[in-house]
Amino acid sequence: MKWLIFLLILANLLFFAFSEGYLGRPHNPDALRLKKQIRPEAIRVVSRDGPPPLPNQAETKPEGAKTETVPPATEPKPEATAAVPAEVCLMWNELSGKDVDLLTALLTGKFPDFKQTKRPEKTQGKSWWVSIGPLPSKAEADKKAKELKELGIKEYIVVHDVAANRFAISLGVFSNESGAKTRLASLREAGVRSAKVEPYPSKETFAIEARGVAARRQALLDATQSASSLKYEAKACP
């Protein structure tokens, strides 16, 4: 039993002497570590004489190595936008209801690509009218006009184109009532007894705008000017 204890003590002493190098060491102190390496071929050197690159940085290629040049990404060119044709706007104003119907029919029939806009125009301020009649017929109106001429009255007009006042004789339109009454007084002194003063009948007028391609402007002007029934010329919209 004693010899067994002695052998255990001796083995511990020998192991201690070996581990501390008392029994000799190899010339290279790392030789033992090299012998104990597991899969040394999997070891990869990432840097020499400097800190390794960060994960988001590109690795430094060794000197003399070819570097591939990656062309910069080019942004897709926007598609060419189709040119918008120039637009023109023409306007006709002081149109009667009949004129509006004629112009609308012309635009709709020959220029459907033009957008039409109709609007009533502002009525002018109230006026005062000095007149005679209306008389029953053209013969009566002409007879009364002759009488006025014999009395020395030269400023008068026989109305023919307004249905409500057809064959009336206009002796003047005034912006205020006092001017109309002054005119009436002078007519009475000249011997005219049938003249009267009344508010001048307002005439409702309209304006029409037409918007379309500028290249068709001249064709539209030619078409409207050739229509003898249209008395008003077009002008550019304000």
The model's pLDDT over 19-56, given as tens digits with 9 standing for 90+, comes to 666 665 555 666 666 666 677 777 777 666 666 666 65
Query: Is 189 a member of any domain?
Result: yes
Considering its fold, how many domains does the chain have in total? 2
Indicate whether 113 and 135 sit together in one domain: no
The Cα-based distances of 147 to 14, 156, 182 in angstroms read: 164, 12, 21
Q: Are 172 and 159 in contact (CB under 8 A)?
A: no
Distance CA 187, CA 193 (A): 8
Query: Is 173 a member of any domain?
Result: yes
DSSP code per residue over 42-95? G-----SSSPPPPTTSPPPPPTT---PPPPPPPPPPPPPPPPPPPEEEEEEEEE
Residue 144: give the domain boundaries. Answer: 128-199
The model's pLDDT over 46-88, given as tens digits with 9 standing for 90+, comes to 666 666 666 655 555 555 555 555 566 666 665 656 677 788 8
Count of CB atoms situated within 10 Å of the CB of 188: 11
Query: Is 105 a member of any domain?
Result: yes
Query: Is 106 a member of any domain?
Result: yes
Indicate whether 111 and 164 sit together in one domain: no
Count of CB atoms situated within 10 Å of the CB of 224: 21
CATH of the domain at 171: 3.30.70
Indicate whether 141 and 181 sit together in one domain: yes
Distance CA 95, CA 153 (A): 33
Secondary structure of residue 81 in the 3-state scheme: coil
Distance CA 223, CA 92 (A): 14
Distance CA 102, CA 165 (A): 24
Name the token pair of 94.
């002081």
Query: Is 78 a member of any domain?
Result: no
DSSP state of 197: E
Residues of the chain with pLDDT under 70: 1, 17-37, 46-82, 122-125, 161-164, 201-203, 227-232
| Kind plus residue range of the DSSP H or E element containing 98 | helix 97-110
Query: Is 31 a member of any domain?
Result: no
- The whole-model pTM stands at 0.38
Query: Is 79 a member of any domain?
Result: no
Indicate whether 209 and 161 sit together in one domain: no
Query: Is 23 a member of any domain?
Result: no
Distance CA 238, CA 233 (A): 15
Distance CA 196, CA 193 (A): 9
The Cα-based distances of 201 to 31, 125, 197 in angstroms read: 126, 11, 12
